[in-house]
Amino acid sequence: MPKTYRISGEQALELETARKNITDKRIDKRLYAVQLRGQGMKNSEIAVKLDTAARVVSRWVCDYHRDGIEALLGKKRGGNRRNLSFAEEEALLEPFRKQAEAGQIVDVGVLKAAYVEKVGHEIGGGQIYRVLARHKWRMVMPRSRHPKAAGEEEQDLAKNKILRAGGNQKC
């Protein structure tokens, strides 16, 4: 037999005043669902009215009766999942910035290892690249040779022509 939850007049008043002060639509929806349940509506009817699932309505009502109104107000969603603040990231990147300014190649693997050591847990593969993008770092890879450079045979022929012509020729 399903558990029936009763909402007292005092609780109904608490829900009504909370709904008046809330600006977040998601929280208001939860409060309204519990309020409708207190007025005698079934979970399935509330779900249809609020365009949600009956199991979700049941969970909201159960949470309300177990933990009070705070259970419905405390749901925060997504957003900034950074492990470090911007300033902390900047401090972590500073030795690598000096290395890059000195003309040395910065290895992302070493940078990621330093980041993991700082936060104390593993991170995803792309997270270090998002950190670099946040701090306006670009991935610049030195090329091994110029794309329009002559081949070694052509360079040898050119050197031989100069040597046969008498050394230093000016164009």
What tens digit of pLDDT does each residue of 74-89 get?
A: 766 666 667 888 999 9
Whether residue 17 lies inside any domain: the answer is yes
Query: Where is the domain boundary, 38, 73, 108?
Result: 73
Query: Residue 31 sits in which domain range?
Result: 9-73
- The answer to whether residue 171 is domain-embedded is no
Q: State the total domains in the chain.
A: 2
Look at residues 154, 128, 150, 152 and name the one whose alpha carbon lies nearest to residue 139: 128
- Which structure tokens are listed for 3? 């558990």
Which amino acid is present at 105?
Answer: I
Q: Residue 97 in contact with residue 136, Cβ under 8 Å? A: no
Instruction: Say if 110 falls within a structural domain.
Output: yes
Tokens of 31: 């409060």
What is d(CA 154, CA 170) in angstroms, rounded to the nearest whole number? 19
Give the mean pLDDT of 100-114.
89
* 37 and 68 assigned to the same domain: yes
| Residue 4 CB neighbours (<10 A) | 7
Q: How sure is the predictor about 135, in pLDDT bands with cuts at 50, 70 and 90?
A: very high
Q: What is the pTM of this model?
A: 0.46
13 and 68 within one domain:
yes
**Alpha-carbon span 163 to 123, nearest angstrom:** 59
Residue 142 lies in a domain: no
- pLDDT tens by residue, 123-132: 888 889 999 9
pLDDT by residue (tens digit) across 11-69? Answer: 888 888 888 888 888 889 999 999 898 888 899 999 999 999 999 999 999 988 888 88
In this prediction, residues 157-161 reach a mean pLDDT of 78
pLDDT at 103: 83
Q: Angle formed by the axes of helices 25-38 and 54-67, to 10°? A: 80
pLDDT at 1: 44
Same domain, 18 and 67: yes
Residue type (1 letter), 19? R
Residue 40 falls inside a structural domain = yes
Does some domain include residue 35?
Answer: yes
Distance between CA 49 and CA 36 in Å, rounded?
10
Alpha-helix residue ranges (DSSP H) falling in 1-151: 9-21, 25-38, 43-50, 54-67, 70-73, 86-101, 108-119, 127-134
- Residue 73's pLDDT band (cuts 50, 70, 90): confident
Q: Would residue 81 count as lying in a domain?
A: no
**Average predicted confidence (pLDDT) for the chain:** 84
pLDDT at site 165: 65
What is the C-alpha separation between 38 and 29, in angstroms, rounded?
Answer: 14
Same domain, 14 and 69: yes
Tokens of 26: 């998601």
pLDDT of 88 reads 92
